[in-house]
Structure 1
Amino acid sequence: MGIIQQQTIKGTFYSYLGVAIGFVTVYYFQTHAISEEKVGLLTLLNNFSLLFA
């Protein structure tokens, strides 16, 4: 297998891993583990970071 193919497979794997981690974070932690106020604070911080990026 060529170097480019190996790097593509690794990149695809890490992309899917990032999506899975994001899914667990949003649908488990934000709904079960933390309160609504903290979810709102995290959303606010995320929106500000996207605004100023």
Structure 2
Amino acid sequence: MEARMKSVANSDVITAVQHLQKAIDAGGVDPLVLELVHLRASQINGCSPCVFAGVQ
């Protein structure tokens, strides 16, 4: 499987992702479901640091 993003994100993208995460957390979805979605998306995107970050 090949990673979808090959370049390092800039600070504007990181800030946008942080705001998106805050909105998702405020949505009322069960945190366990969110963790499973994050894990699967990380696997699909080939992001091993993201997979290991979710395991902690």
Fold-level match, TM-score > 0.5?
no
The structure with the larger Rg is 1
* Bigger share in helix: 1
